Structure 1
Amino acid sequence: MKIVVIDGQGGGIGRLVIEKLRQEFEQKVHIVALGTNGLATTAMLKSGANEGGTGENAIVVNAKKADIIIGSIALMVPDSMTGELTDKMAGAISRSEAKKVFVPLNKCDVYIAGVISEPLPHYVDHCIDIVKELMGGMKNV
């Protein structure tokens, strides 16, 4: 099971996601940390990712190989994350056959109806619950 966690800016969302994944699944999953910049990648690697990559090409290549992609809903919006997310990155993520689990933060001018504003850790807990459900239906877990 290859879980790709993508983040930008300081990597805080990705760091928290990876910490929670490690708490829940320990070493049963392979986590790839992909940052739009080196700071984000480093933060995610320190939180327990198996490997990491930085930049557009790393995200484009690894999105194709993922079973699950986790990150902010901003990953679907070109030029989000203060311009760090390119069209090519957003396209590769959206076209990936991986299951996608998004944290619904209202920071990229995208608002999701029906989503109640909660603190980030609560959203991440919901993401982990979704990953557990997805893994229940996947082979080689």
Structure 2
Amino acid sequence: MKIAVIDAQGAGLGKTVIKKIRKEIGLNIHITALGTNPTATSNMLKAGANHGLTGENSICNFCNTNSLDSIIGPIGIICSGGIKGEITSSISQSVFNLNCTKYIIPMQKHGIYIPGTINLKIKNIIEEIVSDIKKNIEKLS
């Protein structure tokens, strides 16, 4: 199974997601870290991603030329100008156009509020994502 985790800034969320996948699923899954900047990519690689790509051109090229089972990231990845401007319109369009499951983590940031998510904890959301990935792996087996 091939997944990508995309994040910006220091990739705190991306790191957490990758660590949880590695802990719960192990090495049987190929994770590509897509960072908008070198710090984000480096932090996700340290968390256990197999390889990483940095910057708009690399992220867009990867999304446009690779087949993935899923991509995971905060809600800002589908918004032009999201994550304090680090998500360009090209990145958000490339992510949106991927033909895979998109696990979008609702954050109470970026000026976007999703009703019903205010009491959700990021930890629980990540656990639900990892659980769904496990189910998808079982289906492929």
TM exceeding 0.5: yes
Deviation at 1:129, TM superposition (A): 1.9
Give yes or no for contact 2:108–2:118 (8 Å, CA) kept in 1.
no
- The equivalent of 1:62 in structure 2 is 62
Mapped to 2, the partners of 1:63 and 1:126 lie a distance apart of 24
What amino acid is aligned across from residue 116 of structure 2 in structure 1? G
What amino acid is aligned across from residue 8 of structure 1 in structure 2? A
Kindly indicate whether residue 105 of structure 2 is the aligned counterpart of residue 126 of structure 1: no
TM, length-normalised to structure 1: 0.91
Mapped to 1, the partners of 2:33 and 2:101 lie a distance apart of 16
Mapped to 2, the partners of 1:74 and 1:92 lie a distance apart of 13
- Large movers: runs of 4+ above 4 Å: none
Deviation at 1:123, TM superposition (A): 2.2
- The equivalent of 1:13 in structure 2 is 13
- What are the equivalent positions in structure 2 for 1:5-84 lying under 5 Å apart? 5-64=5-64, 65=66, 66-84=68-86
Mapped to 2, the partners of 1:104 and 1:130 lie a distance apart of 17
What amino acid is aligned across from residue 133 of structure 1 in structure 2? K
The Cα RMSD (Å) is 1.4
What amino acid is aligned across from residue 88 of structure 2 in structure 1? T
- The equivalent of 1:94 in structure 2 is 96
Gaps of 5+ in 2: none
Give yes or no for contact 1:63–1:69 (8 Å, CA) kept in 2.
no
Gaps of 5+ in 1: none
Deviation at 1:9, TM superposition (A): 0.4
Mapped to 2, the partners of 1:99 and 1:87 lie a distance apart of 20
Give yes or no for contact 2:34–2:54 (8 Å, CA) kept in 1.
yes
Task: List per-residue Cα deviations over 1:2-57 (Å, max 9, x = no partner).
Answer: 11000000110000000001011111100000101110000000000000000112
Give yes or no for contact 1:101–1:130 (8 Å, CA) kept in 2.
no
TM, length-normalised to structure 2: 0.91
Q: 72-81 vs 59-68, which deviates more?
A: 59-68
Q: Provide the secondary structure at the position in 1 that maps to 2:10.
A: coil
